[in-house]
Structure 1
């Protein structure tokens, strides 16, 4: 059961803290925490400096069940996801024009296989995957530019399998593994 991503850095970011606060608030609204327990845990989360402190504040909460499919679509502009966001089993990303930035390096990935379906017109996409992820891009059709991805062996077994499919018009897809 994963409550927050493991990180070699001892410091936490605001995205991590916001995710923890949201989980505590959801538990309170479902009646899983008393008002006093919520206050105590919120204080621990808001004063936490390391990931293990956040994890201990969320330890007894049931794991939130993510949606299995989610869609992010815009006609123009940027699509950006980063930090400790919860990755659905199937993520559909659509943009007529504009840049797409998906950073899964610190995301909460609860599925062994994640499918990312891209439907992009113009504009590039950059996807950062966890260090131990296995990436498949065979089902992606790039119209104008090639896909930039250097296949690497996972640093440790058991990482998520990220399958990227769909079509890209005039942009380039760049995929890289996170350093940590």
Structure 2
């Protein structure tokens, strides 16, 4: 949620969700009591404008997730690959003119319960490997000449990583899956 938005501007579901997460964190940190938490949650969930939403978190510390946990990877040709023990940001933007993308989250360090991956690929496909138990929603991906296949549950589950994948692909597809196992070992 942006603090500089006009008070009458309507809020999105994503902005409400971020405020709810911020309130939940404040409650977990002991900054809010149960009664106040319940009251603020109700106001946040029913807010229609920034003027309704902003007061629910005005006296809480800034959310570090909203400040700078965004990474942009841009490539003209070649491949973008991330695997092993890498730090996953809250928002990962990936742009490539000619080339594929492989993001393996199965052993990555993910500090957030929900992350967003935005793909902008002109010629190339993307493969995203989720950790066991994670969920993903790839309904926000559009492709001109390819398919979007998501082999993971699409609805977020409490306490589990949820990945939202959005973007546009000209000539290529997206495949989202969990790690493959071979005789109990990761491949």
Alignment TM-score, normalising by the size of structure 2? 0.57
Note the C-alpha offset of 1:163: 0.2
Note the C-alpha offset of 1:102: 0.4
1:67-97, Cα deviation, whole Å (9 max, x unpaired): 5100111011010000010000000000001
1:1-180 alignment, distance < 5 Å = 68-152=69-153, 158-179=159-180
Note the C-alpha offset of 1:146: 1.2
Is this contact kept in 2: 1:70–1:90, CA < 8 A?
A: yes
1:124-161, Cα deviation, whole Å (9 max, x unpaired): 1111011111101111111111112224389x852111
Which residue in 2 is equivalent to 1:52? none
Is this contact kept in 1: 2:136–2:154, CA < 8 A?
A: no
CA distance in 2, matches of 1:76, 1:116: 20
Comparing both chains, which one has the higher relative contact order based on Cα–Cα distances under 8 Å and sequence gaps of 6 or more?
1
Q: How many residues align?
A: 115
CA distance in 2, matches of 1:150, 1:87: 21
SS in 2 for 1:169: strand
CA distance in 2, matches of 1:159, 1:73: 29
CA distance in 2, matches of 1:133, 1:166: 20
Is this contact kept in 1: 2:146–2:171, CA < 8 A?
A: yes
CA distance in 2, matches of 1:153, 1:144: 23
CA distance in 1, matches of 2:76, 2:154: 36
CA distance in 2, matches of 1:71, 1:151: 25
- Would the alpha carbon gap of residues 151 and 76 (structure 1) be closer, same or farther in structure 2, given more than 3 Å must change? same
Long gaps (5+) in structure 2 = 1-63, 181-185
Q: Give me the CA root mean square deviation.
A: 2.1
